């Protein structure tokens, strides 16, 4: 993993997971559909303005726009809507995080069939250890006495399916050299446009676009647009260009503990010993998933110093 990729990973983990904290600030002032609709309308208009100023905007054919619209609807619209609707229906955020963290295992199980990138035993081991770390982080925060309906607990499964489909679709486009990709800025515009159109209908029919335009809500939207929808998703697609679908999806294991740490900073939520233990186990799982130990060992054996030691022995 290059230094640039490491920086992209750090940026992705921080900005992506800040979206959950941002949602905590925004949901008291608007419903989940409305919150997301305003967010992606703002993002789409911002990108349209920027691309026009730079002379980079253009309407493309339906054939070129369709995959970007679809990826946006899945990765932005469905993924976020399912998570926020579950939380707004009373499902504890820790349980939502735990359910969504199944995503790397689901991605690993189907990625080989779609992208042709097979997973090694080492990667499966790393994924399993990482999931164990998530369980350790979240288990002691679960309120088993919560009487929320079973249906509400099934909603986050939609987030898993949507992001798995989007990441595999995007990765397949990266591997398929015959596909004409749009520039990143224009691609994100079409993703935002598709998400805005889809969210408009539930925001109007279910929530009547009811919004309290407070200073806190506006500042929250600015952060969600710039920090999460713009920066975090840019990191997502840049990482998918550099990593296999399984390696990238394993980064989602960092979501629950990082979100809990941010909640501690912003809201004063307590950090438990199990959070630290869980994060440690997650890091071990990620290292096992990301590092090719066989390649590293072969490289070390080929270094002059080690060759000399081998001859001496």
- pLDDT value at residue 218: 95
Name the range with the highest mean pLDDT among 48-62, 109-123, 139-153, 265-279: 48-62
- pLDDT value at residue 298: 59
For range 63-84, the mean pLDDT = 90
Tokens of 157: 């499964």
What digits encode the pLDDT tens for the residues 97-133? 767 777 777 776 666 665 566 667 877 787 788 788 8
- pLDDT value at residue 73: 94
Q: Is the pLDDT of residue 273 over 60?
A: yes
Residue 66, domain extent: 3-312
- pLDDT value at residue 288: 80
pTM of the model: 0.76
What's the number of domains the chain is made of? Answer: 1
Interior angle at CA 158, CA 90 and CA 150, nearest 5: 40
Q: Which residue has the higher pLDDT, 269 or 79?
A: 79
For residues 54 and 259, is the Cβ–Cβ distance under 8 A? no
What digits encode the pLDDT tens for the residues 27-70? 899 999 999 999 999 999 999 999 999 999 999 998 889 989 99
At 174, is the secondary structure helix, strand, or coil?
A: helix
Cα 109 to chain centroid, rounded: 18
- pLDDT value at residue 213: 96
The span from the CA of 253 to the CA of 282, in Å, is 7
CA dihedral over 115, 121, 123, 124, signed as positive or negative: positive
For residues 207 and 37, is the Cβ–Cβ distance under 8 A? no
Q: How confident is the model at residue 184 (pLDDT cuts 50, 70, 90)?
A: confident
Q: What is the total residue count of the chain?
A: 313
Tokens of 225: 């647009």
Least confident range from 113-117, 183-187, 188-192, 286-290: namely: 113-117
For range 86-95, the mean pLDDT = 74
């Amino acid at each position: 993993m290059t230094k640039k990729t490491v920086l992209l990973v750090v940026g992705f983990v921080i900005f992506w997971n800040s979206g959950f904290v941002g949602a905590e600030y925004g949901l008291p002032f608007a419903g989940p559909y409305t919150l997301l609709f305003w967010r992606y309308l703002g993002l789409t208009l911002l990108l349209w303005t920027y691309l026009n100023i730079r002379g980079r905007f253009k309407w493309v054919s339906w054939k070129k726009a369709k995959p970007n619209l679809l990826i946006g609807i899945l990765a932005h619209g469905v993924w976020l809507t399912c998570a926020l609707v579950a939380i707004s229906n009373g499902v504890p955020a820790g349980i939502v995080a735990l359910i969504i963290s199944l995503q790397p295992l689901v991605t690993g199980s189907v990625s080989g069939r779609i992208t042709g990138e097979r997973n090694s035993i080492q990667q499966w081991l790393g994924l399993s250890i990482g999931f164990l770390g998530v369980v350790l982080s979240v288990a002691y925060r679960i309120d088993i006495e919560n009487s929320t309906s079973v249906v509400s607990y099934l909603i986050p499964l939609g987030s898993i399916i949507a992001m798995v489909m989007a990441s595999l679709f995007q990765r397949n486009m990266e591997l398929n050299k015959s596909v004409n990709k749009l520039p990143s800025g224009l691609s994100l515009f079409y993703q935002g446009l598709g998400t805005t159109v889809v969210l408009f209908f539930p925001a109007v029919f279910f929530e009547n676009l009811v919004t309290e335009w407070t200073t806190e809500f506006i500042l929250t939207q600015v952060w969600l647009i710039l920090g999460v929808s713009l920066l975090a998703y840019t990191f997502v697609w840049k990482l998918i260009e550099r990593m296999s679908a399984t390696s990238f999806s394993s980064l989602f294991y960092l979501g629950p503990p990082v979100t809990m740490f941010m909640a501690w900073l912003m809201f004063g939520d307590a950090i438990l010993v199990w959070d630290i233990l869980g994060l440690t186990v997650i890091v071990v799982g990620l290292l096992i998933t990301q590092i090719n130990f066989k390649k590293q060992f072969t490289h070390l054996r080929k270094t002059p110093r080690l060759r000399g030691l081998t001859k001496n022995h």
